[in-house]
Amino acid sequence: MSVLLTVDGLSKAYPGVIANDDVSFLIERGEVHALLGENGAGKSTLVKMIYGLVRPDSGSMTLNGAPFSPAEPRVARASGVAMVFQHFSLFEALNVAENIALGMENPPAMRDLARKITDVSEAYGLPLDPARLVGHLSAGERQRVEIIRCLLQDPKLLIMDEPTSVLTPQEVDILFATLRKLKQEGTAILYISHKLEEIRALCDSATILRRGEVVATCDPREKSARELAEMMVGKVLQQTKARGADLGPVALDVRGLSLPPATQFGTPLRDVSFSVRKGEVLGIGGVAGNGQDELLAALSGERGTRDGVFVNGQPISKLGPTARRRIGILSGPEERLGHAAAPDMSLTENALLTGHVRENLARNGFLDWARTKAFAERVVKEFDVRTPGVQAAARSLSGGNLQKFVIGREVLQSPDVLIVNQPTWGVDAAAAAAIRQSLLDLAAQGSAVVVISQDLDELMEISDRFAALNGGHLSEAVPAAGLTLDQIGLMLGGAHDLEPA
């Protein structure tokens, strides 16, 4: 094997934060190289520099032995570097071939392109029909569109940013088969992830970043997942504490809940039924876009339904969010900025957002700012939110800190039922552990907790029972203890009826 890309002393600073500090490593031809690190460790900045999206402050790169400093992604692509982003840039109203043509410099005739797409997708075991509308594809299929878009450029280096975060376990297997095939053909792959087992299964070498610096380079197959995690986090991780199951009567009962999608390509809820008992954590897994947002909206009261939602036996389907909060049903949406919190408002104002009903922060509509501030300060203190003060704007907090704030805001109102969607999405490991612990503690105090998440490890860790959301259908909830990854994968819809070709 010979060296394809060298990265030598790359540094990049943003105001107030050094994203990359003197980062060096090499990638050889035909190697799958892992870039491992927590959120905010500098992985994204590093690959953006390789892909020409961000210009390094200092340092140099070589590709194939020649100096390489792409000024823009077009130059990087011309040199044989391709990238699949975590967030797809696809137009839902166009079909697969049209989407791919849009990203090309000189797209061939549509018919030729469609044939090429079919050829490549068969050659690499990524089944995909070029004529289908992207809006109708699952997340895994959308990722295939992005991958095939890259493969059509015949890349030397393929960068993949968190590719498995949107895939079912079976879809992950298909993806890995494709990546191994590419590797055999001599394509190098730079694989960004924080999922350690995946990296141990797939990668030949790993560069571990922490706070913008390379802390280790190793062969991940020779390390345990725990060793890798500790290198990544820099300290010994705390396990969340298990608790004794002491379940009360049914608190939240959902029967035959159906809801049309909010947007054209949204997912309708189809006849969803489940119940949660006091003191129980129900985990709802599923790949994003399978009805999670709709389910949260129907439970939080943002979207009323005709029927189907009961709390302590009383129908609440028609109640709005304020009325539901009054009777103890609280929720935490996935999107922190703009949904759970108003970005430009202070933490005090954001505490008022959901807190005014249960914390008595308003009298006859007139606001009690002193009480509101005290409530915000209590959230900050008890959930260890790192902020200069409660007057700071929500958007000035890091993702993990803001997430602790919005979850803490609901937990401290001692809800009877709490529904959260993606409670630890994009949150560093320490904050994620704290959030999970707080959800478990809440259940231990007798609340019913519903956790909707894509992170299966998280759900296995905290759920008493597990159900899967797939295409707006919810599977039957089964005890989480003893579930295997294969069984879960099948509950999540397997590979969405697509097996490797």
Partner 1 sequence: MITLERRPEPSRMWQAMTPILAVVLTMIAGGLLFAVLGKDPFEAIRTIFWDPLFNPQFASYSRPQLLVKAAPLILIAIGLSLGFRAGIWNIGAEGQYIVGAICGAAVGLAFYPTEAIYIFPLMVLAGAIGGTLWAMIPAVLKIRFGTNEILVSLMLVYVAEQLLASMALGALRNPDGGGFPGSRNLQQYPSAANPELIAGTGAHWGVVAAFIAVIAAYVLLNKHLLGYQIKLTGQAPRAARFAGVRPNVLIALCLGISGGLAGLAGLFEVSGPAGQISIDFNSFYGFTAIIVAFLGRLHPIGILLAGLLMALTYIGGELAQFMLGIPSAAIQAFQGMLLFFLLGVDVLSNFRIRIKRKQVA
Give ∠ CA 271-277-278 in degrees, rounded to 5: 140
Q: Which is nearer to partner 1, 254 or 352 (CB)?
A: 352
Structure tokens belonging to residue 291? 């009805």
353 vs 478, which CB is nearer to partner 1? 353
Binding positions for partner 1, 74-113, rule CB under 8 A: none
For partner 1, the closer of residues 217 and 322 by Cβ is 322
Q: How far is the CB of 468 from partner 1 (least distance, A)?
A: 25
With CB under 8 A as the contact rule, which of the stretches 96-104, 173-181, 230-238, 393-401 interacts with partner 1? 393-401
Query: Is the CB of 112 or the CB of 344 nearer to partner 1?
Result: 344
Contact flags string 304-333 toward partner 1, x per CB under 8 A: ----------------xxxx-x-----x-x
Single out the residue of 49, 72, 69 nearest to residue 60, CA to CA: 69
Residue 66 found at the interface with partner 1 (CB under 8 A): no
Q: Is 261 in the site for partner 1 (CB under 8 A)?
A: no
The identity of residue 393, as a single letter, is A
Angle between helices 399-411 and 347-355 (to 10 degrees): 40
Phi/psi of residue 124, nearest 5 degrees = -105, 10
Is position 341 an interface residue for partner 1 (rule: CB under 8 A)? yes
Q: Give yes or no for residue 374 binding partner 1 (CB under 8 A).
A: no
Question: Does residue number 115 form part of the binding site for partner 1 (CB under 8 A)?
Answer: no
Least Å distance, CB 281 to partner 1, is 22
Contact 161, 47 (CB under 8 A): yes
- Residues of this chain, 395-434, that bind partner 1 according to CB under 8 A: 395-396
Q: Number of residues interacting with partner 1: please give it, by CB under 8 A.
A: 38
List the one residue from 73, 343, 426, 446 that touches partner 1 (CB under 8 A). Answer: 343
Does the protein bind partner 1 through residue 352 (CB under 8 A)?
yes
Strands 362-363 and 366-367: antiparallel
Among candidates 354, 341, 335, 353, which has minimal Cα distance to 293?
335
Closest distance of CB 352 from partner 1, Å: 6
Stretch that binds partner 1, among 94-102, 220-228, 351-359, 409-417 (CB under 8 A): 351-359
CA distance 407 to 393: 17
Strands 81-84 and 66-67: unpaired
- Cβ count near 55 (within 10 Å): 12
Instruction: Give the Cβ contact number of residue 57 at 10 Å.
Output: 14
The DSSP symbol for 237 reads P
Give the three-state DSSP class for 440.
helix
Which of residues 177 and 345 has its CB atom nearest to partner 1 in the complex? Answer: 345
Q: What gap in Å lies between CA 475 and CA 46, rounded to an integer?
A: 40
- The residue among 110 and 353 lying less far from partner 1, judged by its C-beta, is 353
Contacts of 144 (CB under 8 A, 6+ apart): 121, 126, 127, 128
Task: Report how far residue 332's alpha carbon sits from residue 439's, in angstroms, rounded to the nearest whole number.
Answer: 12
* Residue 268 in the binding site for partner 1 (CB under 8 A): no
What tokens appear for 335 in the block?
Answer: 């999107």
Exactly one of 98, 146, 294, 349 binds partner 1 (CB under 8 A); which one? 349
Q: With 0-12 CB in 10 A as exposed, 13-18 as middle and 19+ as buried, what is 370?
A: exposed
Name 171's Cβ contacts closer than 8 Å, sequence gap at least 6: 140, 495, 496
Select 26 or 342, whichever has its Cβ closest to partner 1.
342
The answer to whether 395 touches 344, Cβ cutoff 8 Å, is yes
Q: How far is the CB of 409 from partner 1 (least distance, A)?
A: 12
Smallest separation (angstroms) from partner 1 to the CB of 366: 6
The residue type found at 52 is G
How far is Cα 91 from Cα 466, in angstroms, rounded to an integer? 33
Among 288, 362, 478, 498, binds partner 1 (CB under 8 A): 362
Please identify, among the stretches 41-49, 277-285, 334-342, 462-470, the one whose residues bind partner 1 according to the rule CB under 8 A: 334-342
Residue closer to partner 1, measured from CB, 224 or 391: 391
- Copy the structure tokens of residue 443: 């259940």
179 near partner 1, rule: CB under 8 A: no
The residues, any chain, with a CB within 8 Å of residue 31's CB and separated by 6 or more, are: 1, 4, 183, 188, 189, 204, 205
Contact between 190 and 157 (Cβ < 8 Å): yes
Q: In whole angstroms, how close is the CB of 177 to partner 1 at the nearest point? A: 39
Among 66, 71, 242, 370, binds partner 1 (CB under 8 A): 71
72 forms part of the interface with partner 1 (CB under 8 A):
no
Question: Candidates 128-136, 340-348, 415-423, 426-434 — which segment interacts with partner 1 by CB under 8 A?
Answer: 340-348
Among positions 168, 300, 387, 463, the unique one binding partner 1 when judged by CB under 8 A: 300
- Residue 67 binds partner 1 (CB under 8 A): no
Residue nearer to partner 1 on the CB measure, 398 or 470: 398
Cα Rg, the chain, nearest whole Å: 24
Tell me: does residue 439 bind partner 1 (CB under 8 A). no
Using CB under 8 A as the binding rule, whether residue 393 contacts partner 1 is answered as yes
Using alpha carbons, select from 250, 242, 284, 248 the residue that is nearest to residue 440.
242
Binding residues for partner 1, per CB under 8 A? Answer: 15, 55, 69, 71, 300-302, 320-323, 325, 331, 333, 335, 338-345, 349, 352-354, 356-357, 362, 365-367, 369, 392-393, 395-396
